[in-house]
Structure 1
């Protein structure tokens, strides 16, 4: 009886609690069309922050659901569903594709359009397509991914940036870098003082997508800065009505060089010196030192990302902290980034007013190794030791000579490469913030019209210095050498524009109109103090300021969902250009025809998408090399450059040459394209053909004596023409619930030539280019009408019957029975005829695998490491008390003397690289989703080139910092 009483009392106590009991709902979300699960679907109780997301298999569990709650299921590309809760324990949902969002939105500059309505050459590369691994430089995410876009990695220094070329670039002396716009803020194309890469302040983990504008029809809205293409970078934002999510991602990496410059080892070098006439073998040492082994080491790195994101009603945010650190394979090289990124969004006034703030803030720390050690390691005597206890140079072995003042270094001798690294301290810190506040208001009385105001800034400041002690043999002065420097870059932006978008009944036309104004100011300052010769010098300050004011407009029409017409116009006024040339005008027009919406294709089960398009546009190049090249400027003398009046030394002002009519370069571009998709876009792609003509090219050319203040003048003299065909293909080979396989391939053909280079009519005129190591002032390339700007200028080598080059024997091109400068000929080029990229992506259930190949064909490299050190006198033609090592190529040629201008050193640089391989496995869980991955980069290079790497920007291989092969272990936790 007592037990019954207690049980009854317990139940009575629980009865009130039952009114507060909460329900748990679970289920599965799939595609209605295929039945495949959809991971990442937002499942949230309407009007609250109570929610979750589906796991990799589309499963979810939602707690604390009450009767009469409404559960909202939403995911990008699918129509949202709202289901009232009526006590069900299981709710399975099938989402329909939302045709309004299925056609992907792409940015086009001051606005957006759908992929099917774009009439220019525009390509979007999203997160799921990025290269994987410990990526530090953001541009490496898209290497090999886009037709017409070639990204050449820099050297192997940590944090080193790459060179981006869209359709080969359009200039000679001016910049060929594309304009990069980050969340609406155009970056200063001159870069950031003290930074290895201006893009490193953008955390690659936080990039949502890249949109690449290739032709002038797409880029002309950016006017005077768009001749080399435009890249729009969009960073990740929070999602509306999404539950709180915390992510921790870590990547640990190791890397080693895969190749070294082929030089003589100690035994081979001894044999060479002993057999060479007139040498003194007693000067050789007794060591066997591989100097390249001594300066390189294993590189290690780590990348940590901590991210929090949430949507609370009409407010949503994303916050990320990133720590990146990486040592270089060259001893003493180091890069570190600490970055905080935040994105805040607030919708107000029934979504008529949208406020967004994005801010990317970073602190970069660099330790720069002396890269001169790379060349020294190639040329230093391998029979000498690293250390010498009797050395006056900090205990390092150096080549010395006896003078009246005692033992001093040999001024012309190669320096000990280990000492160069260890007796040099060079570092800096760069703080940077890229911030933009964007306000978008849809008028209540006319919701088709919206006003956008975007205010942004890009501010960076640097402090750094370097030090080399008096004890270093590389210090040839009588005091410790140092330099301390500081500076900042400041970039302000204010964009205001109106956009009107409405479908009108006339011909069922959708009208999209935009007009606005832009103002941007660029300011930079730098100063430094340091030693020059044997004194401390306070160097002159450098201040640089310029402004750009612009007006722009665009009108686009989609008629009957078939016919597309678009036109844009921009007027740019720049303080860099003389008043009479200050304003530039940049029109563009393009058309498109969506054939897949025509009656004869509307019901096709084969053709999903078929669109033809064509466009014309004009753009300019703002980065012409000088800010005020049209003004007569006076430069103050520096350091010891002074004029003596008796016993007084007076600093001078030196007038500089100038061209009062200097103006920016201009480009005219024609583009025709075809976009297609078959079998529900399981096979899709595009083909583009273009013709570009750049006028008023900037070049430094000789001028008659007395015509200006110098015999060389930067002026507008040239014209180039480039043509190309680009093909991009994508195929879903397999698509099922458990197994998916996709291949993406692109190939680009290009041809570029200089069509005018002088204001006169001299057909033999050329401008030497491409400085090389060896001799003083030697060059190996040229600019000349009718040739590619990277063409080499060489003698044609003569070979014997055994196929070996004959020293000093060249083809007598002009038949005058003597070899003179007139027999040097333009021959081969560093620009590839075509390049390609191939990406494979596969996943089986929770396992994923991807790799990327890149290739380049038809390009040549001048092997300067061989030409400057591949002959016997490079070792023996030195002062009488030391010898230098030589390239092992001397064993093949037997050259006694330098043959710098022989085309023997021009080598085919075709290559195919397995650039990126990634294997990952995801383990979904109730509380934590976990993913582990293993990635390798720079995995394999297939080439006949004998040097370190066939991928050398500019085509001259000399003192190249080798890239490492890296292996990366990644762990990702989603809470």
Structure 2
């Protein structure tokens, strides 16, 4: 934002000050005692006298017309005398006094107490110098107008914000700059004066990126959310999605995992498809950038295109919303060097209460007895407390970040360079992430008509992963580990259980399983802008994203327990190479014709994506390969060698256009059109066409509201548009596929022949998923920009959803074909409120609230069956997508307490032959007297009915304080972890089972009896697993202290800061963390399920920033 204001300021201020003699005023002007003239002032008014003197001498008189009576009569006969003597005579005639400031002479009345006793006074002059910077970002401001009040004498700041000016004593200087509040300062015997100008939100017209161009924020007619870097700087975040969490209404963000470097779940205005529902990320005009590659410290601003009318310019790629990211650019002026170092410490937010060794052995014996088996622990009490595996596996993990950036340049060439390093250890032993990054942005104005530039980014990251989710994950093993196992024996070997054969030492498991990924990326663009015929700009940009990743999965020989050993060391290596590039060419015409303002954009883009995946596996590596990495090569494997791989490419050709028109800054129209042709569709439906339009009425500019000066902006908005999506469609779904190298066995001798077989049935009639959206909105700004509000309503329908139809086995193909067979409705409302103010004492504060409600409903699933299920290991189907309910609704049986007596069992619908008192009672939904699959129903909703965020800040003198709260309301979590911790036979139990299990009639109606065989299938998918997912979290609390620049003689800007992220969470959820995203980023139906997900940590951070 400041970079745009800087450019505007230089241009406008230079033109303005041309007429104000805006140069350094070092030349002396003659003293009034040394200038002589002869003028007749007989029978003249004071005003006429002053005009005659100005005409004769070149002096300029300044005065306040309300205080100085210019009609006073003067009678002074003509005589040759000094101006000084003449002014003395006028003073006596008109009761005024004079003071000379160079060529300017101020006039005041006698009653003005601030005037000197002398009738005529000549102010003494001296030189004052200093620097003008922005208060918000402490950056130098070039082109600031500096005037001596009451005169036309002044100067402007240079490219580094520096100025020097000859001023009279006791003068008042006025500092003014477009987009900032004018400031007046009276000089008092000082030769240096540094000024900080605050942004003026009333005159500030923020320019935001809207896709292939920019618009003034107040002129946008679509729904666009904006987050500037100031709102997330210095927060300990790794991914860009964390920067917008809780800050943009209508954008739902959840961390899929708290593991270092893990991905986020981001949904814009709900989920409209069972395919890939992630938004499109565009960085500096470069589409399809993976958000994991973005470094928050290098981001200037983030724009979220929420409505179809705003995102339609991206057509087939914008159905799930578009997130536009602008990275930092160089600014004209002195080169700057910035260093930001932070050190953080992460810890688990809470531990889950689990049974100790004595309790576990008691429960295990009880479960065996209830199953009709003999107990195995003779004296559970002798085991004591045992091992608290959470204390062994969770750690206080360091998190270090260092970034260094340099920027600067001239009006013709600017540069921004940034490099950084981040290292994040995981709070679970065995997990870590580190990233080294580099960014080089520059722009060069070759001539007044030609500008070229590039935005380049590179990163190398290393991820040490542990198995997550599912019940074989490290966290699940941690919670369910037998507490009688010791982490290590006295000889250093790992402890193991001799009683619970499948209960594994989780510390040993992490140690023996290595899963490391190294990822190298290079992305960016090069571009050229050519301006011609004054109103036309042609832009050509080549964008590219290159990714190379290598994964090594090594498992040595080990022994964890009886039945839990690996006798052959294995090694799996895989590589993935992805190249995505695009070429975009646009032509923009802009013209202002009186009250008519028009901008027309037309262009085309060509995109191609190619990827190749290769994998090799081998077993039987040398036993000592566990300690000698030089022996970890596939050539050394002796068993089960295998290789495999795949690859493919697809292309997208697009034509796009947009027209923006407004009349008299009151009535606005935006029309978009895009046509996309994809190689993933057959010739019948290769092209998709996506139009949109939006209207705006800036009511605040109407004549009937001009008297309401307290209203700064009132805009009514409305729009309609369509968007496309090809989801996760394979490259060749439109045609049949044949797989080579298939083994066929023929004849009596069972000879093996190599052949080919059809594995996929194509559908040449496949076409684009299409999302149609209608929306209305309102933007409001009042009280000199202090109060702001925005409201949006939308209705979004996705049709022709791409689905796979299961085929019967005799169809002769392995993979199900794709069809267009479903529709989904999302409708909702969004509200944002904000207030900011600065008191006379300089105390600045702000608060903002945003909230959004979205309702999701499947309208049809034609041609693809009536239900799409998502299963959970061992439990069964836990989520379902079906007509009339939200996507991925929780699915299962409804429970009705615990059977207390055999009579209750006998009088209820039949469940199983082994059902007994103490088991869960399931509801007979269809009333047929049998509990079966037909009694399953919708039991919960994984999607919140309300997402909200609250952000506050306070600033006084050198202290800045920020706080952010974020939460959700109304969703349910399927706590699948309970299958292992409350119902399985050899795993440890939660403390809840110990405290609340059924042990006899009337003892419990919440937790069933312990039974190692579970004859009633108590652990089937049901609302027994369901918990409320609502929460309110103190997402970030941060305090910053700016060290006074005078400490370093204005050569260094330094600030220190401390933050606490995820400080407090208010929630009834009994698991680790209610922030549950998806367990499979490629499957949008796997949401709201907690299978021992890696918890989000609490983070303490201290940091130091220095600018030179």
Please state which band the TM-score falls in when normalised by the shorter chain: 0.7 to 0.9
Partner residue of 2:413 out of 294, 315, 331: 315
Give the corresponding residue for 1:4: none
Give the corresponding residue for 1:972: 1105
User: Does the alignment pair 1:244 with 2:354?
Assistant: no
Give the corresponding residue for 1:130: 232
Partner residue of 1:531 out of 608, 618, 626: 618
Partner residue of 1:794 out of 887, 892, 899: 892
Give the corresponding residue for 2:701: 597
Partner residue of 1:563 out of 656, 667, 673: 667
Aligned pairs for 1:95-114 (under 5 A) are 102-114=204-216
Q: Take 2:730 and 2:546, find their aligned partners in 1: how far apart are those partners? A: 21
User: Does the alignment pair 1:614 with 2:718?
Assistant: yes
- Superposition deviation, residue 815 in structure 1: 1.9
Give the corresponding residue for 2:1051: 927
Kept in 2, the 8 Å contact 1:701–1:767? The answer is no
Q: Take 2:1067 and 2:163, find their aligned partners in 1: how far apart are those partners? A: 53
Partner residue of 2:600 out of 513, 523, 527: 513
Match of 1:155, SS? coil
Give the corresponding residue for 1:454: 541
Change (3 A) 1:792 1:456: same
- Superposition deviation, residue 150 in structure 1: 1.0
Change (3 A) 1:312 1:295: same
Partner residue of 2:325 out of 233, 236, 242: 233
Partner residue of 2:930 out of 818, 831, 847: 818
User: Does the alignment pair 1:257 with 2:390?
Assistant: no
- Superposition deviation, residue 475 in structure 1: 7.8
Match of 1:541, SS? strand
- Superposition deviation, residue 659 in structure 1: 3.6
Partner residue of 1:40 out of 125, 136, 139: 139
Give the corresponding residue for 1:774: 874
Match of 1:540, SS? strand
Kept in 2, the 8 Å contact 1:798–1:810? The answer is yes
Q: Take 1:305 and 1:603, find their aligned partners in 2: how far apart are those partners? A: 51
Q: Take 2:784 and 2:835, find their aligned partners in 1: how far apart are those partners? A: 11
Kept in 2, the 8 Å contact 1:529–1:536? The answer is no
Give the corresponding residue for 1:959: 1092
Partner residue of 2:576 out of 480, 487, 499: 487
Give the corresponding residue for 2:312: 220
Q: Take 2:234 and 2:746, find their aligned partners in 1: how far apart are those partners? A: 62
Superposed CA offset, 1:611-667 (max 9, x none): 1111110101132332221221234579xx886885876666453233412233110
Partner residue of 1:199 out of 262, 280, 291: 291
CA-atom RMSD, angstroms?
Answer: 3.5
Give the corresponding residue for 1:15: none
Give the corresponding residue for 2:679: 575
Give the corresponding residue for 1:433: 522
- Superposition deviation, residue 958 in structure 1: 0.9
Kept in 2, the 8 Å contact 1:303–1:325? The answer is yes
Kept in 1, the 8 Å contact 2:485–2:497? The answer is no
Aligned pairs for 1:337-348 (under 5 A) are 337-348=435-446
Partner residue of 1:333 out of 416, 422, 431: 431
Which consecutive unaligned segments of at least 5 residues does structure 2 have?
Answer: 1-125, 146-155, 167-172, 184-189, 621-637, 905-916, 997-1006, 1078-1086
Change (3 A) 1:495 1:38: closer
Aligned pairs for 1:854-893 (under 5 A) are 854-871=966-983, 874-875=984-985, 883-891=986-994, 892=996, 893=1007
Match of 2:395, SS? coil
Kept in 2, the 8 Å contact 1:857–1:909? The answer is yes
Kept in 1, the 8 Å contact 2:144–2:175? The answer is no
Match of 2:805, SS? strand
Give the corresponding residue for 1:182: 283
Aligned length: 890
Give the corresponding residue for 2:48: none
Kept in 2, the 8 Å contact 1:666–1:696? The answer is yes
Change (3 A) 1:906 1:131: farther
Match of 2:760, SS? coil
Q: Take 2:1028 and 2:393, find their aligned partners in 1: how far apart are those partners? A: 29
User: Does the alignment pair 1:905 with 2:1025?
Assistant: yes
- Superposition deviation, residue 156 in structure 1: 1.5
Superposed CA offset, 1:532-569 (max 9, x none): 79834342221121111100011111012111111111
Q: Take 2:411 and 2:244, find their aligned partners in 1: how far apart are those partners? A: 35
Superposed CA offset, 1:871-924 (max 9, x none): 3xx12xxxxxxx322233323213343332231221111110111110110013
Q: Take 2:503 and 2:766, find their aligned partners in 1: how far apart are those partners? A: 44
- Superposition deviation, residue 965 in structure 1: 0.6
Q: Take 2:346 and 2:163, find their aligned partners in 1: how far apart are those partners? A: 42
Change (3 A) 1:538 1:817: closer
Structure 1-normalised TM-score?
0.85
Superposed CA offset, 1:355-398 (max 9, x none): 121111111122223442211112221112223589xxx93334
Change (3 A) 1:292 1:37: closer
Kept in 2, the 8 Å contact 1:259–1:962? The answer is no
Give the corresponding residue for 2:623: none
Farther off after superposition, 831-840 or 134-143: 134-143
Structure 2-normalised TM-score?
0.75
Aligned pairs for 1:29-108 (under 5 A) are 29=132, 39-43=138-142, 77-78=179-180, 102-108=204-210
Change (3 A) 1:63 1:426: farther
Change (3 A) 1:313 1:678: closer
Q: Take 1:460 and 1:292, find their aligned partners in 2: how far apart are those partners? A: 37
Kept in 2, the 8 Å contact 1:782–1:792? The answer is yes
- Superposition deviation, residue 707 in structure 1: 4.9
Superposed CA offset, 1:824-862 (max 9, x none): 111220111111000001111110111111111110011
Change (3 A) 1:485 1:95: closer
Kept in 1, the 8 Å contact 2:895–2:1022? The answer is yes
Give the corresponding residue for 1:19: none
Change (3 A) 1:747 1:637: farther
- Superposition deviation, residue 259 in structure 1: 2.0
Give the corresponding residue for 2:104: none
Which consecutive unaligned segments of at least 5 residues does structure 1 have?
Answer: 1-22, 55-59, 65-70, 82-87, 189-197, 402-408, 876-882
- Superposition deviation, residue 820 in structure 1: 1.8
User: Does the alignment pair 1:950 with 2:1074?
Assistant: yes
- Superposition deviation, residue 90 in structure 1: 5.6
Q: Take 2:201 and 2:962, find their aligned partners in 1: how far apart are those partners? A: 29
Give the corresponding residue for 2:376: 280
Q: Take 1:24 and 1:355, find their aligned partners in 2: how far apart are those partners? A: 41
Kept in 2, the 8 Å contact 1:42–1:73? The answer is no
Q: Take 2:136 and 2:230, find their aligned partners in 1: how far apart are those partners? A: 18
Partner residue of 1:361 out of 458, 474, 492: 458
Superposed CA offset, 1:196-239 (max 9, x none): xx423222111000011001101111011111000000000001
Match of 1:385, SS? coil
Kept in 2, the 8 Å contact 1:705–1:711? The answer is no
- Superposition deviation, residue 261 in structure 1: 3.5
Q: Take 2:203 and 2:610, find their aligned partners in 1: how far apart are those partners? A: 41
- Superposition deviation, residue 736 in structure 1: 4.3
Change (3 A) 1:708 1:107: farther
Kept in 1, the 8 Å contact 2:556–2:566? The answer is no
Change (3 A) 1:124 1:631: same
Aligned pairs for 1:635-650 (under 5 A) are 635=739
Q: Take 1:452 and 1:747, find their aligned partners in 2: how far apart are those partners? A: 38
- Superposition deviation, residue 519 in structure 1: 0.6
Kept in 2, the 8 Å contact 1:133–1:251? The answer is no
Q: Take 2:383 and 2:513, find their aligned partners in 1: how far apart are those partners? A: 27
